[in-house]
Chain A
Amino acid sequence: MFNVVKAELRKMKRPSLTVVTFSIVAALSTLFTSLIFLRLGSTSDRPRGREIAQTVESMSHSDGAYYSFSIMGLFIGLIALTVFASQSSNEYTYGTLRNLLVRQPSRMKLLAGKLMAMIVFSILLTTVAAIVNISLSYLESAQGHVDTKLWISSKAISGFLTTFGNMVLGTIGYGLVGMSLGIILKSPMSAISISLLWFMVLENILGAVLSTSTKWLPGSALSAVSTGGAKIFTYQRGLLLSAAYLLLFGGVATILFKRRDVAS
């Protein structure tokens, strides 16, 4: 399986993929952090009944350094989903799957190796986002008069590690959805457009029309994992529901990958 991971990572380290993907993550991280610091106000500035933005006080808390990172889960996840949907479905469109299977005939080992490579890539993606967000937060803290004393406390470090872990889990979850759809649909365009349409449009519409549905939708579940959960959607519920969806998608994709004739 190590050979498969090595081969997958060799494919993925091509500049056209890494430079573009990591640049998008860095650009989004910059945008998120800058917007948060641009909109900083003091507690007294906050209009009654409106939670408009972070305040100077709230940003001085131990989670201030990685706050902007912690709210990026959906975006990093969708980037991972796009990358892995195209990586898995392109094996069918390019016809390269047959070469891979001649060199690694065990389809389960091939799939497991691809999954491992995806996990490595997801960790790298999340790490880049964390580095850019935290670095920029430090740079902008002086201008925003944010006290950073608590940012390097032990509470801050353990909080960051938990957030980072959740973000990685969420990103892997989205990536797995993309990878599964790529294998099921065998077309990067279909896999990416269907999943983006679902996560960015349909889930929101469903949630607005039928508010109870949000408790059961895959995007809400993955979002709860990335963000560490919320009152209406706890972390445990998010983990369980995400695991159920991933088992469903991953199971169908695994069965198809293992049994489907490679005739193209």
Chain B
Amino acid sequence: MPPLAISVSDLSKIYGEQTAVSHATFDVPLGSVCGFVGPNGSGKTTTIRMLLGLITPTGGTGTVLGEDIRSPEKYLAKVGAMIEGPAFYPMLSGRENLKVLADLGGFPHDRVDSLLKKVGLGERGSSKFKTYSLGMKQRLGIAAALLPQPQLLILDEPTNGLDPSGIQEIRELIKELAEAGTSVFVSSHILAELEMISEYLVMLRKGKVIFAGKTQDLLGNQKPITSVKPEYQVDLNKLVEIVKNLGYEPRVENGAVHIPVGAEIGAVLNRSAFEVGITLAAITTSQPTLEETFFEMTGE
């Protein structure tokens, strides 16, 4: 077994009668980028907070960089984190906010300016945090997470509020850090981004882990999807009926019928549609994306 950045077993958090995380078990190998996905309220942030010692688990065990999560002081100096959006003092500048955290962690101040430059805030470092746009706040949060030159970086929705070029920058930054040996555990709603960078995935649904493993294992095991588009949109419902009669459960999206089956359905479907007077404009078969797999698995 490779050395692990994160390992949790049966980790649970219960608030009164509500279970936020239920018996979560997963491993994140050291040096990998691991995507952490799940619908809103599935327990991602609670899990991250338990890994950072902010929330006490109700049950189960876990280690971060080989240390017990009940002793966060043993590993947090080597961990950078941005949890549930950036939180800073509004009356202080971006630079001063980072210096507060540098003082607290005992990190040298000269790292502050280089990090501000790295996240594209070099010229706005002296501006008060309250004047920052959401994207700038997010960048400052990432700079704060990088302060300790972490071995493990935990990012909760790092691309929230960023424009497409900002999202691309974060993706490149994560790749760069991973290449340098940093383990990255990142949650995001932008699944296409995670698919591009994550070697491993942990998927949560209603507090339970429904997948934990290599991204290629998840996507490789999914059935291909054949998408069929009629020439005229009015024929969409009739086409759905045909597919159902063939024994499949289709999904309608963007003016096309998506069927969880390979290219073998093409000829049969084309014939059946032709018999009822429907002309098919396009038939394409592809492997499902992470987003499609996510919807399939979480039922969202």
A interface list, Cβ under 8 A from B: 3-4, 6-7, 10-11, 14, 16-17, 90, 94-96, 98-106, 259, 261-263
Checking B56, B79, B105, B148 against A261 with a beta-carbon cut-off of 8 angstroms, the contacting residue is: B56
**Residue in B closest to A17 when the chains form the complex, CB atoms:** B91
A47 to B247, CA, bound (A): 106
Binding site for A on B (CB under 8 A): 46, 49, 52-56, 72-73, 76, 79, 81, 83-85, 87-92, 96, 99-101, 103-106, 144, 147-148
B101 touches A7 (CB 8 A): yes
Residue among B88, B101, B104, B147 facing the most chain A CB atoms (10 A cut-off): B104
Residues of A within 8 A of B81 (CB): 102
In Å, the complex CA distance between A103 and B91 comes to 20
Report yes or no: B90 in contact with A94, Cβ–Cβ below 8 A. Answer: yes
Taking CB atoms, residues of chain B closer than 8 Å to A11 are 89, 92, 100
B contact residues around A16 at 8 Å (CB): 91
Task: Assess whether B56 is in contact with A106, with CB atoms less than 8 Å apart.
Answer: no
Give the secondary structure class of A's interface. Answer: helix
B92 x A14 contact (CB < 8 A): yes
Residues of B near A90 (CB, < 8 A) are: 89
* Contact A100 B104, CB 8 Å, known A95-B87, A262-B54: yes
State whether B73 touches A106 (Cβ < 8 A). yes
Bound complex: CA of A104 vs CA of B54, how far in Å? 11
Asked whether A98 lies within 8 Å of B88 as measured between CB atoms, the reply is no
How distant is A96 from chain B, measured CB to nearest CB, in Å? 5
A95 contact set on B, CB distance < 8 A: 84-85, 87
Q: Judge whether A101 and B53 touch: CB under 8 Å.
A: yes
Known pairs A94-B88, A94-B89, A105-B76; A7 contacts B54 (CB<8 A): no
The reply to whether B53 and A103 contact each other, CB–CB distance below 8 Å, is no
Instruction: Kindly list chain A residues whose C-beta atoms are within 8 Å of the C-beta of B73.
Output: 105-106
Once the chains are docked, how many angstroms separate the CA of A178 from the CA of B93? 26
Query: Which residues of chain A have C-beta atoms less than 8 A from B87's C-beta?
Result: 94-96, 98-99
Q: What residue of chain A has the Cβ atom nearest to residue B76's Cβ?
A: A105
21 A-B residue pairings within 8 Å (CB atoms): A3-B104, A3-B105, A3-B106, A4-B104, A7-B101, A7-B104, A11-B89, A17-B91, A94-B90, A95-B84, A95-B87, A96-B89, A98-B87, A99-B101, A99-B144, A100-B104, A103-B104, A103-B105, A105-B76, A106-B73, A259-B56
List A contacts of B104 (CB < 8 A).
3-4, 6-7, 100, 103-104
